[in-house]
């Protein structure tokens, strides 16, 4: 193993996820926060044809649209490009996967005050298995993640490596009742490792504090570089705000839901 201990591996196999504290120091997180601030300071018309930006209607003000997610930014941002290849991430990632990995997709989730929550789902439900067989997510906490601002909640102990619902469909409420969800309370610099099969969810942010996180998803390098193929389909099926028609309808999995 490159960086994880036997206890880390054991915890991951038992719980289905692993939290590593203070992976990035205060200066590193401050730099990352500044990069995200730059995106937040953009207006909806500033995105043009580069990064993909997604907005949502604030729960606190129905007349306000707030930035909720940024994707496809690696091609235009050197700092984030360097981040995805950091050994602080790749060493534990490859310890868990057991193979060399390559980036599949990148996302910044900005759950600002008034940002909505997300239904319980498995990431594989979005048909990622059209591109590769297995994926691992790395969640990087940029702000304090609390129950009040809608932290990530993971179904602890769920270790099945299979899809338990229909594609493009959130997990049924009856199945959800039998799961033990653990709030992942994290501080800036903490990371969480979890794969494409473990159910997770989050509540709305009705606090005064934003909850920004970076999600990096990797697949085994042996299964190929599928990022551009994925982005092409994603932009067609779920285009960013500046590329949507008037009749666009979000998918049940991606659609936010107040909880």
Residue-by-residue DSSP string for 201-228: EE----SSS-EEEEEEEEEEGGG---HH
pLDDT tier for residue 2 given thresholds of 50, 70 and 90: confident
User: What tokens appear for 9 in the block?
Assistant: 């591996």
Question: What pLDDT, on a 0 to 100 scale, did the predictor assign at position 251?
Answer: 53
In a domain, 51, yes or no: yes
Note the helical H segments in the chain. 6-15, 26-40, 78-84, 87-97, 173-177, 227-237
In a domain, 250, yes or no: no
Helices (H) and strands (E) counted in the chain, each on its own, are 6, 11
In a domain, 15, yes or no: yes
Question: What pLDDT, on a 0 to 100 scale, did the predictor assign at position 254?
Answer: 44
Cα(198)–Cα(20) distance, integer angstroms: 18
Q: How far is CA 227 from the centre of its chain?
A: 15
In a domain, 248, yes or no: no
Q: In whole angstroms, how far apart are CA 153 and each of 59, 113, 202, 208, 245?
A: 20, 18, 6, 20, 33
- Domain range for 26: 6-242
In a domain, 50, yes or no: yes
Cα(225)–Cα(248) distance, integer angstroms: 29
CATH number at residue 175: 2.60.120.620
pLDDT tens, 171-228?
A: 999 999 999 999 999 999 999 999 999 999 999 999 999 999 999 999 999 999 999 9
The number of domains in the chain is 1
Question: What pLDDT, on a 0 to 100 scale, did the predictor assign at position 259?
Answer: 35
In a domain, 63, yes or no: yes
Q: Which residue has the higher pLDDT, 131 or 44?
A: 131
pLDDT tens, 50-95?
A: 999 999 999 999 999 999 999 999 999 999 999 999 999 999 999 9
In a domain, 55, yes or no: yes
Asked whether residue 23 carries a pLDDT value surpassing 60, the answer given is: yes
**Are the CB atoms for 123 and 135 separated by under 8 Å?**
yes
pTM of the predicted protein model? 0.94
pLDDT tens, 182-193?
A: 999 999 999 999
In a domain, 71, yes or no: yes
Smallest CA-to-CA distance from 175 within 125, 133, 106, 227 is with 125
């Amino acid at each position: 193993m490159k960086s994880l201990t036997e206890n880390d591996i054991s915890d991951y196999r038992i719980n289905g996820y692993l939290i590593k504290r203070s992976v990035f120091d205060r200066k590193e997180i401050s730099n990352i926060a500044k990069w995200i601030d730059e995106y937040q300071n953009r207006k909806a018309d500033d995105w043009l044809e580069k990064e993909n930006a997604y907005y949502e209607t604030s729960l606190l003000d129905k007349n306000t649209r707030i930035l909720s997610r940024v994707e496809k930014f690696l091609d235009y941002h050197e700092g984030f490009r360097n981040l995805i290849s950091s050994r602080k991430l790749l060493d534990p990632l490859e310890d868990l996967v057991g193979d060399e990995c390559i980036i599949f997709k990148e996302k910044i989730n900005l759950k600002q005050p008034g940002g909505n929550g997300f239904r319980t789902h498995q990431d594989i439900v979005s048909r990622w298995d059209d591109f590769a067989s297995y994926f691992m997510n790395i969640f990087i906490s940029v702000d304090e993640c609390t129950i009040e601002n809608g932290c990530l909640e993971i179904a602890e102990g769920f270790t099945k490596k299979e899809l338990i619902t229909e594609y493009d469909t959130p997990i049924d409420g009856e199945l959800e009742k039998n799961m033990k969800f653990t709030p992942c309370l994290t501080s800036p610099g903490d990371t969480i490792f979890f794969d494409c099969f473990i159910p997770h969810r989050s509540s709305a942010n009705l606090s005064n504090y934003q909850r920004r996180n970076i999600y990096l998803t990797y697949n085994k390098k042996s299964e190929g570089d599928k990022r551009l193929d994925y982005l092409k389909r994603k932009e067609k099926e779920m285009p960013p705000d500046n590329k949507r028609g008037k009749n666009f309808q979000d998918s049940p999995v991606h659609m936010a839901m107040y909880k």
